[in-house]
Chains A and B, each alone.
Chain A
Amino acid sequence: AQSVTQPDIHITVSEGASLELRCNYSYGATPYLFWYVQSPGQGLQLLLKYFSGDTLVQGIKGFEAEFKRSQSSFNLRKPSVHWSDAAEYFCAVALDRGSTLGRLYFGRGTQLTVWP
Chain B
Amino acid sequence: ETGVTQTPRHLVMGMTNKKSLKCEQHLGHNAMYWYKQSAKKPLELMFVYNFKEQTENNSVPSRFSPECPNSSHLFLHLHTLQPEDSALYLCASSQGTGPNEQFFGPGTRLTVL
Contact = CB atoms under 8 A, between A and B. Distances in A.
B96 A102 contact: yes
A58 B102 CA distance: 18
B41 A108 contact: yes
Contact of A42 (B40, B48, B107): B107
B53 to A, nearest CB: 14
Contact of A90 (B6, B43, B105): B43
Contacts of B105: 43
B54 to A, nearest CB: 14
Interface residues of B, number: 26
A103 B94 CA distance: 11
A106 B96 contact: no
A41 interface: yes
Contacts of A103: 45, 48, 56, 97
Interface of A is mostly: loop
A2 to B, nearest CB: 12
A36 B56 CA distance: 23
Interface in A50-104: 51, 90, 94-96, 101-104
B109 A41 contact: yes
Given A90-B43, A107-B42, A46 B98 contact: no
A95 B99 contact: yes
B112 to A, nearest CB: 19
Contact of B45 (A31, A41, A104, A108): A104
Interface of A: 31-32, 34, 36, 41-46, 49, 51, 90, 94-96, 101-104, 106-109
21 contacts: A31-B99, A32-B99, A34-B101, A36-B104, A41-B107, A42-B106, A43-B92, A43-B104, A43-B105, A43-B107, A44-B92, A44-B104, A45-B104, A49-B101, A90-B43, A94-B99, A101-B98, A103-B45, A103-B56, A106-B43, A108-B42
